[in-house]
Amino acid sequence: MQTKKISNISNTKKTILIRLDDVDVKVEPDSGSEVNLMDEHQFKALANRSKSKLTLSPSKAKLNTLQHKLNVKGEFQTIIRNVTCGKHARFIVVHGHINSPPLISKHTLIELGMMKIQEDGGLAQPNSMRINDETKHVKAAKQSTKMQEMLHVIEKYDHVFHGIGKIHDRKNDKEVYGKFNM
C-alpha cells in the first residue's frame, strides 16, 4: 500500500462551506494533501448530524506527517457538494484531533472546480495584464538559474513540505503561517 502525503500547511487560512451528504461542513482546502481527511471527533459529529447512516469501513491507507505516522481509524464514502457540482468522495478518518477543520485534497478540489492547474500557468480567460510574447522569452532565460536554485532548495528540504493540518509553534503557543509566491 502506498503511503499518502498530508500537507503541513494549508494553502489558505480560510475555511469554505461544502456539503457532505446532507450536512453543511466548514472544511479547509489543502492542495498539498493527497486524501480527504477528518479526525474521529469530526466524523462522529458529522454522523450524528446526518440523516444518512455514515459508517466507517476498514482502510488500507497509510498516512504520514512530518513528525510521525497517523493512526487511521477507517474510511467512508460520501457525496461532497459545492454550489456548482457534486462528486463521490472518500474520506480517511484518523484517531485523535488534527487541529484543523476537515481537509479537502487537491484531487477533490480539482474535481469540484475549486482549483485548476494549467501547464503554462495561465488562466482560462486571458486579460490585458498577461505576459507579452516578446518579454516572455527574455524573462524565461533570466529565471532559469533562479528556478534551478529554487528546485535545489525544495529538493534539499523536501521533508519540510509534508505533514498534516497546520504548523504549530509549541514554544509560543501560536500557529505558524507561511506565504509562498508562485
Segment 159-175, tens digit of pLDDT: 666 666 666 677 887 77
The model's pTM is 0.61
pLDDT beneath 70: ranges in the chain: 1-13, 119-143, 159-168, 178-182
Look at residue 140 and give its three-state secondary structure. helix
Collect all residues with Cβ–Cβ distance below 8 Å to 26 and sequence separation of at least 6.
15, 16, 17, 101
Domain-embedded: residue 39 = yes
Rg of the chain (C-alpha set): 19
> Could you list the residue range(s) of the whole structural domain that residue 114 is in?
1-119+130-182
Domain-embedded: residue 177 = yes
Domain-embedded: residue 125 = no
Domain-embedded: residue 13 = yes
Task: Give the CATH number for residue 52.
Answer: 2.40.70.10
pLDDT tens digit string along 81-99?
998 889 999 999 999 988 8
Domain-embedded: residue 49 = yes
Number of domains in the chain: 1
Q: How far apart are CA 39 and CA 25, in angstroms?
A: 14
Grid coordinates representing 35?
Answer: 486524501
